[in-house]
A and B are shown apart, each in its own frame.
Chain A
């Protein structure tokens, strides 16, 4: 038996990205923010983890190793990259089993968790959004846009607890009404704004941020096609096949139909909350 597996008498149990992980063997150090087992979740996975022998000198990590390769066929598939190789099997009802091996080039504290959470989200009909998210009145408002668009600035201007700094899991969980979200990966965000203490929140809106060109803070509705465009623009895709992309656009269309999507024009230093709340009250 592997040395690390012998050292661990109890499996590591925690919720990350809305997935409850039950990791047997290996040395699992879940990324932040993770929550205790039993927290709000939409899926669960039992993982058997084996550490691969590591070379004495770690090799240089090339760019392509940072990407995840994913393939899924019917009820099983695999994910590879960021130092992990995992086979995954669906057990039905959003439950999964995985067996994984760490490679020599682990790129995060726990590449297994880092790789599996987004994969299982897609298998459960959800998305990973590149979003900085505020908790406003007990719900999540996700600010999206390309790097540099001002997502973190919007979170700072909203001046409400930060729910996610960089990535957000968005799913319609079984047994719940509507769309819910979970934070994924800590990332960087505005200093001085407290973190939300919730592990999951209902998703109130997705807001595409850009700088105002006329010096006024404005929050506008967007048309259905534009909503799909900007949601897809903000989606972090995993499996790159035509079937997966069709499925992704289906999910995005359902999200656009179920959650208000807005375009927010921000002005540095100007509060956004009144205009945001006015716009969402019109929903």
Chain B
């Protein structure tokens, strides 16, 4: 699970395109392909830009979807975990 306080950014080897509320994400090099559900797409398109962290994503999730902070933190951490796993993001030094 991503540590609190760690910051992330998209890898330069990632290209995505969003159609009908679903993002298709290509991670080059390993040549893998992923798609996100509407919530994941919203987070990816609107908030996984520049440098971001778990707290920021959790805050946005809680605000947008009116979920309790604990659930939002857990969902944000899970999303970041999956992004790290597929090589779509990297930790910022």
Q: Interface on A for B, CB 8 Å cutoff?
A: 223-226, 228-229, 232-233, 237, 240-242, 245-246, 249, 253, 256
Q: When chains A and B are docked, how far (Å) is the Cα of A240 from the Cα of B21?
A: 26
Interface pair A245/B26, CB less than 8 Å apart? yes
* Chain B residues with CB under 8 A of A245: 15, 26, 28
Of the A-B pairs whose beta carbons lie under 8 Å apart in the complex, a sample of 6, sorted by A's number, is A224-B19, A225-B21, A240-B28, A245-B15, A246-B15, A249-B26
- Inter-chain CA distance A223–B38, complex, in Å, is 13
Chain A CB within 8 A of B51 CB: no
The interface size of chain B toward A, counting residues with CB under 8 Å, comes to 17
Asked if B24 lies at the interface with its beta carbon under 8 angstroms from chain A, I say: yes
Known: A226-B35, A249-B17. 7 other contacts (CB 8 A): A223-B20, A225-B20, A225-B22, A233-B33, A249-B24, A249-B26, A256-B19
Question: Which residues of B19-41 are within 8 A (CB) of A?
Answer: 19-24, 26, 28-29, 31, 33, 35
- Bound Cα distance from A178 to B13, whole angstroms: 32
- Complex CA gap A240/B14 in Å reads 11
Contact pick for B22, options A223, A240, A249, A256, CB 8 Å:
A223
Bound state CA distance, A253 and B18, in angstroms? 10
Chain B residues with Cβ below 8 Å from A233 are 33
Whose C-beta in chain A lies nearest to the C-beta of B38? A225
Q: Specify which chain A residues have a CB less than 8 angstroms from the CB of B17 in the assembled complex.
A: 228, 249, 253
Distance of A110 Cα from B92 Cα, bound (Å) = 46
For the complex, give the distance between the alpha carbons of A137 and B35 in Å: 34
Residue B12 is within 8 A (CB to CB) of chain A in the complex: yes
| Docked pose: A242 CA to B19 CA in angstroms | 19
Q: Which label, helix, strand, loop or mixed, suits the secondary structure of the B interface?
A: strand
A229 pairs with B24, CB closer than 8 A: yes
Across the interface, which residues of B come within 8 angstroms of A224, CB to CB? 19-20
Q: What is the bound-complex CA distance between A242 and B16, given in angstroms?
A: 10
Identify the closest chain A residue to B16 (Cβ).
A249
B20–A242 contact, CB under 8 A?
no
A229 and B15 contacting across the interface, CB-CB below 8 Å = no
Give chain A residues whose Cβ lies under 8 Å from the Cβ of B23. 225
Name the one of A225, A242, A256 contacting B13, with C-beta atoms under 8 angstroms.
A242
**Quick check: A225 and B35 within 8 Å, CB to CB?**
yes
**A225-B35, A229-B35 known; A242 vs B22 contact (CB < 8 Å):** no
Query: What 4 A-B pairs come out closest when comparing CB atoms?
Result: A225-B22, A245-B15, A249-B17, A225-B19
Contact B24 A242 (CB under 8 A): no
Contact between chains at B12 and A242 (CB < 8 Å): yes
A228 to B41, CA, bound (A): 15
CB neighbours (8 Å) of B35 from chain A are: 225-226, 229
Give complex CA distance A33, B8 in Å.
49
Contacts of B18 in A (CB 8 A): 225
Residue of B nearest to A247 (CB): B15
Chain A residues with CB under 8 Å of B31's CB are 237
Instruction: Determine if B12 and A232 form an interchain contact, defined as CB atoms under 8 angstroms apart.
Output: no
Q: Which of A224, A229, A233, A237 has the most CB atoms of chain B within a 10 A radius of its CB?
A: A229
